[in-house]
Structures are given as structure tokens and as C-alpha cells.
Structure 1
């Protein structure tokens, strides 16, 4: 069992140092419902003053997770949204002067993935106030003078703000597959990207090339996923929509076998999912054509080369319920505060 666990961790890129863990993982469930907002307020009492503007509330279920990346800290805070409008104000006598980049998220009433709002930023030492009733926020904290000298305002162009938003979301989404020994790399990459976006220069962009390429890759994958059924999807069209050269797109996708290979594999995965769905009785040729494979024999050979099994056998296995499933959870709770992390960074 131990060997299997080690093999699984290695496959996920997790080394001997162990998986990346939250420095803080707390929620309000330990307090009586009527006192949950008071507990939430106490988490941030040294950073900002938070008021709940609604007149009555039965509870305030909230959770905060924080990951420390060297002198940076990334916090994901979830709380009740609609009907729980809050006002956040800066401290009159601040003890911290860190920058905060915030990305709010809202869960649609009809369900589905959360919608992210526009990037916001401010300095903890400067006068600031805002109101919101979103469902949570992803915050990146970093020292005010960590990589550049700035006053109490940041000049971030709209295209750079969009780029930073994509990067912070990508960084947070990568944490389940990260190890503790990845922290120095993530901190360095994030620092370089912040410098490149906030104070653009040729040197900053050069050192930030890795994280910049990662964001372009993430954007490209989103475009591919959205247009996977489009038979006219080509590398040239991706270049046009991403605003990059063909050579750069090819270089970014080289580690995964090239952009054409990536698109083909994603389409093959879609056909594999459809074949394994016992409620989809469409002919195999129709499923292949749905995802851009017009010649059945070529599709069958390509599918077998990719997965080591024919489409017919894949359908039989899927309908018999032969699937690989795995799950992992690693609760972690350390009694420290976000402000203490920032003070010691």
C-alpha cells in the first residue's frame, strides 16, 4: 500500500517533501450560528474592519485557507453571498502595509462553476473601503517593496490585470498537485510575474517567461475546450485569438507533444467518455465524427495507439462499469493567523 501511495504521489508531481499544505485552514462551524460572523471578524481584525450590513442573519458559514509562498501569501476565503452584504474598511492605525490583489467570485443561482470578477488591488496601509456580497475572494498578499518601489497606488493596465487574474487562478488551481519543495519556485515565478505586470520592462518579462507561458497555455487550453467540436479549429486560429506567433505557440505546447497532438488527444478523450456512457447508444462512427474524426478506420487506429485499446473494447469496458477512480483528502488545521504570516514574511 505504501509503494502504491508513493507511486501515485510521484505521478502527481509530489516528491519526498510531501504535498503542499495550507498554513491555515479554519472555518466558523466551531462557533454557535449567531456568533459565527464575530468569529469571522476576528480572523482579520488586525488587517481590516469588516461589517455585516444586513439587519438579521441566522448564521455565517465561512472558511479561510491560506498558503504561504515565501514572502507571499495566497488566501481563499469563502462566505455567504447574496443577502449578506459586507463593508470592508482599512484600519485607522494599520500595522501592515502589504499589497492585496483580490479576485472575487460569485456562484450563479442556477449552479455551475463560479464566476470571477475583475481584479482589485489596494495597500493595507492606505485608506480603502468597499462593499460586496459575492460568495468569496481569492487574495494574494505581498510586501509593498518586495520587488519594486511603489507609492500607495499601483498602476496596472487592464490587459495586465486580466493576465494577473488568469495567473492567480492558475496558481491556486495547481495546489492539489504541488509539493512543499515547489514553494521556492512558485514564490520566485509569482514575484517575477508581478514585477513584469506592475512595472513592465524587457528584463522583467525575460525572467517571468515561465509563468507568462503558463498563463498563455491555460488560456489556449480554455479556447480548445470551448471549441473542441469545431472541425476548423487549427493552431493558426489559436494564434490569432491568443495574439501570439505560431512559433511561440508551438514552443509552449512542445512539452505536451505539440498543439495539434494536444487538440487530437482532447478530442479522443471526449470520444472515450462518450463510449463509456451507457446512456449514449450512438454508433462509434457517429461519436468519432461528432469530435472531428471523419474516417472510422483512422479513428480506430488513433484511438488504440493513444489508449492501448480499441473503441469497441473501450465501450464494452465502460458499459460494464470498469473505471479507475481515486480520491484523496488531507485536512490540515494550524492555529495561526493570516496577519501573523504577513508580519513574519
Structure 2
């Protein structure tokens, strides 16, 4: 029987190839906020963001970093016989604090046995070279890999303003230049179905991600929470959400235009059911994933197939 062709670089395989075995990601919840909430660049956050941020599956932030990691490692090691872990500083903005606090938290994670990588989730406007220097020092001292995740959401600067993101595309470009200088792994979060974006924005997202050398990508569809500005817009029929079929087509086009070396962490996400007005068209995330795989097969698309725009496309015939 012919083996099924892998049409994009999957994160699980990338980690297994890198570390020689399956690696488990453990979320860490710090007592931090966001500059888009505390008045630095806004007070109410993005129009889609809930009160708990992205950390609805994390342990309480009253526990220390070591306690959160230890509790999860104890459980996962028994259940899955796991031996290697990634400490994932996930919720809100994990560089938005004094540098001394930042160093303390990251170093506490690096000291935990069997942590092979530290992943720090943050915003493009919260990347400063001094924080990256701290990460570089800890990487060298403890021998852990470093990944910096940036929430961009869209390259459409008008949509960024509409969703009250609090930064523009320029800050993302600047942050990526600094991250690349330290040769850290980088990851970009994108939402492909904002009501104000279209297929052109999706394709341009893939192009900018590729041109900037982003190494990993997380895609997910927009989910809408109660008690958010976006939730109010949804309830009052001020916005409409594209069909799941159109979302699948956007993902497939994104993959096809994305540079072949990038790793794709996720194509569809999840949300806390109890506070959600809309999520994944009331479908399971794995069914959407199946639809994406089927569409890739149908069109014979694969990652990088349409990535023909880098390195001076217009003069390629002369060299």
C-alpha cells in the first residue's frame, strides 16, 4: 500500500526528529497582564480576548513555575511514559514585566529536570533585545532551546486597528528581526477568518511570514466569547463568519504559499465551551483538520507549492 504523502511540515514530527522522541508541551500561567489591558497602549484588550486570555487549560498562577511544571510532569510521565518537555509560558504577555522578574521565571523553568525547551508567548511590541539577551544567556547556561511565539493574528494593518490589537505590522517585523539575530526558534499566531479579511490577506500573511524567516506557525479560526466586544458585535449581527468550507480553502492556500521549511504547529484550535458563542462551526477540530487534508489532496497542493515570490522573482530568468 502506497504511503500517504505528507503535504505540510507537522510540529509533532519536527519535535520527534529534533529530540529523538515525543516531547510534551506544558503550559505555565504567570501572574501577568498585557499592555493592551493596563493602559500602556489600551485598556480593554483585543475585541476577541476573554478575561482568562489563552490559558484556560493552565494551572492557577498562584503556583510557582516549578510547582506547575512538577505537577504536570508527574501526571504526564505516568500516563504517557514521557521523558522530555517544553515549558510553555502561554498566557497573556510573558515579557511584559521587569527584566529581573522575567529572568527569575525563565531560569526557574530551565532548572527543572527534563525540560529541553522553553517557549515564551508574547506580543510584537513587547520584544526588546535586553529580554532576548536574558533568554540567550539562559540557553547557553542550561542547554535549553528557546522559542519565542508572537501573536500577530493578521498582516492586514487595518484589521489590526479594527480589532484594537494595540500594535501594527511594523512592530512584528521589528520583533522578528531581533529574534532572528539571536537565532531562536520563532512562531507566529494567525487567525485566518476575521470578518474584515479576505483571501488576499491570507496569501499575504503566508508571504510575509516566509520573507521574515518565521520558523513555526499556529493557525486557528476565530472563536467568539461571551462578554467581549466581538461577542456583542456577533450577537447584534454586525459581523458575519465565513463558512467552514471557505476557511478550509484559506488554510490550503496559506499552506501552498508558505515557505517549505516552516513548521506548522496547528491548523485549527479549541476554545472553552462554557463561555463560547461561536467556535469551529460547532464541529470538532479534528474534522476540520480532515477537511483540510482532503482539500490538499484534491487540489494536489502542498506546502511551498506556490512559494515562488522570494529572492527577486522578476529577475530569476536572468540568473
Same fold (TM over 0.5): no
TM-score (norm 2): 0.26
> Which has the greater radius of gyration?
1
Scaled by the length of structure 1, what TM-score is found?
0.25
